[in-house]
Amino acid sequence: MGEHKLLTEHFGTEGLQTLAVYERVGGYQGLREALSRFTPETLIDEVKASGLRGRGGAGFPTGTKWGFLPKDVFPRYLCCNADESEPGCFKDRALIDENPHQLIEGLLIAAYALQVNTAFIYIRGEYHDQRLLLERCVEEARAAGHIGANVLGSGFSCDVIVHGGAGAYICGEETALIDSLEGYRGQPRLKPPFPALKGLYGKPTVVNNVETLSNLPHIVQRGGAWFKQLGTEKSAGTRLFCCSGHINRPGTYEIAMGTPIRELLEEECGGIWKDRSIKAFQPGGGSMQVLLPEHLDLPLDMDAVAQAGSSLGAGAMVFMDETTCMVNVSMRLVDFYHHESCGKCAPCREGTYFESDLMHRLEAGHLTLEELHTLADICDNMNGKCFCPLGDTATWFVMSAFKAFRDEFEAHCGAGACPVRTASAQLVTA
């Protein structure tokens, strides 16, 4: 348990972003082995056996997702989802910054398993330097014969295109990503048909997260069975957790699944800052429900956290100390979803608008108790009724915070100012 380095093993090695150094530490061995030891079918079976689940938030088993592609329909496409925009999440950026070739190798392994000849990396527009780095690495790998026609002399061909977005959280949703990649406004599509049947350009498409793909070189080299024994029965492998907020050492930590959250907080993150105590935390990024100090002993396991009423999501842990105003935090998250709503469906487009309006007035202490119930009513009219998960998740944090900190929400009503700030006078520490 505890820290276990797999994806981050070589982080910090000087020059790891170059092909030469990456190959010196064993890079592209996974691709070589995949091409020589496996057929596409046995490779998919190996990934299924590894128990690898998607690291983008939903946690869907990767091998199973790959298995949905219809046989004999070509061309097919593979998209790496590097549109990381979840509040609190920055692991994909770390994986690209520190070890870009690991991602490219994983992408090529997945492309081989899926028999894809054109793979895309969709990276968010804000990651400008990361996009340039990836483009440079792709060119380097192409010059070395790892990308392009006849990869490493295997007869398999694959091109990689790095595609930069331009600022839209919704493009992390896989069908919106596909829309954006096709050159449209990035709005989600109705499912079914799922992208595995009709995705990019109407062809079978797989969308995988950066971290998911970065795991593949290790699974190929050390075997699916080895990977599966890391972590817990249903959550195999390690995971990168992005820890931020009121902690002494914010950052990205790779630890085995199943480790208690308290261990992550105390040992990796150095505990809550300024000797304060913890008030609440968010285990899965901005979308996910708030958890309380009593949940700190939960293991970092997707199912255990789900049972506690939240989700590990994309692995972003935001810790909040005792001075935090939950109304203020809720307001910011609601603002975020209001800002990012794509406008396709009414419950989300209008719901986030009213949510944001009410939260701003609540935070300023100008809401009545009755209007507080309107807020709950709006959330109820959104959750589960939106076109895509963005609208649903826009209600999850605020509703869970309302439930857990009802007193605090009610104390704001008619107070004319934030009572928590008045009490602690230093909600935000400069």
Instruction: List the interface residues with another protein, window 35-64 (CB under 8 A).
Output: none
Whether 375 contacts 368, CB under 8 Å: no
Select the residue interacting with another protein from 57, 88, 231, 391 (CB under 8 A). 88
Reference 193, options 69, 278, 7, 369; nearest CA is 69
Q: Shortest approach of another protein to residue 186 CB, angstroms? A: 6
Whether 207 contacts 195, CB under 8 Å: yes
331 in contact with another protein (CB under 8 A): yes
Q: Shortest approach of another protein to residue 245 CB, angstroms? A: 5
Neighbouring residues of 172: CB distance < 8 A, sequence distance ≥ 6: 56, 81, 83, 84, 85, 86, 124
Q: Which of residues 409-428 bind another protein (CB under 8 A)?
A: 417-418, 421, 427-428
Tokens of 214: 């970065």
136 in contact with another protein (CB under 8 A): no
| Spatial distance between the Cα atoms of 375 and 8, rounded to a whole number of angstroms | 43
310 in contact with another protein (CB under 8 A): no
Which run of H or of E encompasses 143?
A: helix 128-143
Kindly indicate which of the ranges 44-52, 150-158, 333-341, 370-378 contains the residues binding another protein, using the contact rule CB under 8 A.
Answer: 333-341
**Tokens 């009755």 — which residue?**
370
Q: Which of residues 169-188 bind another protein (CB under 8 A)?
A: 169, 175, 179-186
Q: Shortest approach of another protein to residue 193 CB, angstroms? A: 6
Q: Shortest approach of another protein to residue 132 CB, angstroms? A: 10
Q: Shortest approach of another protein to residue 55 CB, angstroms? A: 15
| Spatial distance between the Cα atoms of 254 and 60, rounded to a whole number of angstroms | 20
Q: Which is nearer to another protein, 44 or 329 (CB)?
A: 329
344 in contact with another protein (CB under 8 A): no
4 in contact with another protein (CB under 8 A): no
168 in contact with another protein (CB under 8 A): yes
| Spatial distance between the Cα atoms of 179 and 157, rounded to a whole number of angstroms | 25
Tokens of 353: 């608008």
Q: Which is nearer to another protein, 225 or 417 (CB)?
A: 417
Q: Which is nearer to another protein, 61 or 125 (CB)?
A: 125
324 in contact with another protein (CB under 8 A): yes
Burial of residue 9, with CB atoms counted within 10 A of its CB: 0-12 exposed, 13-18 middle, 19 or more buried = middle
Q: Which is nearer to another protein, 355 or 392 (CB)?
A: 355
Tokens of 416: 């004319």
Select the residue interacting with another protein from 76, 101, 246, 412 (CB under 8 A). 246
Q: Which of residues 350-379 bind another protein (CB under 8 A)?
A: 353, 356-357, 360-361, 363-365
Q: Shortest approach of another protein to residue 200 CB, angstroms? A: 8
163 in contact with another protein (CB under 8 A): yes
Select the residue interacting with another protein from 57, 100, 106, 164 (CB under 8 A). 164
Which run of H or of E encompasses 244?
A: strand 238-245
Select the residue interacting with another protein from 155, 190, 294, 370 (CB under 8 A). 190
Whether 55 contacts 212, CB under 8 Å: yes
340 in contact with another protein (CB under 8 A): yes
Q: Specify the DSSP class assigned to residue 148.
A: B
Q: Which is nearer to another protein, 93 or 146 (CB)?
A: 93
Q: Which is nearer to another protein, 166 or 225 (CB)?
A: 166
265 in contact with another protein (CB under 8 A): no
Q: Which is nearer to another protein, 63 or 286 (CB)?
A: 286
* Measured CA distances, 134 to 93, 303, 318, 345, 429 (Å): 11, 34, 28, 35, 36
> Rg for the chain (alpha carbons), in Å?
22
| Spatial distance between the Cα atoms of 95 and 16, rounded to a whole number of angstroms | 11
| Spatial distance between the Cα atoms of 408 and 430, rounded to a whole number of angstroms | 23
| Spatial distance between the Cα atoms of 215 and 46, rounded to a whole number of angstroms | 13
Q: Which is nearer to another protein, 43 or 242 (CB)?
A: 242
Paired residues of 247 in beta bridges: 272
Q: Which is nearer to another protein, 92 or 254 (CB)?
A: 92
Taking the CA atoms of residue 157, residue 103, residue 199 and residue 386 in that order, the dihedral angle to the nearest 10 degrees is: 180
Select the residue interacting with another protein from 124, 146, 239, 412 (CB under 8 A). 124
Q: Shortest approach of another protein to residue 415 CB, angstroms? A: 11
Q: Which of residues 191-210 bind another protein (CB under 8 A)?
A: 193, 198-199, 201-202
| Helices H / strands E in the chain, number of each | 18, 8
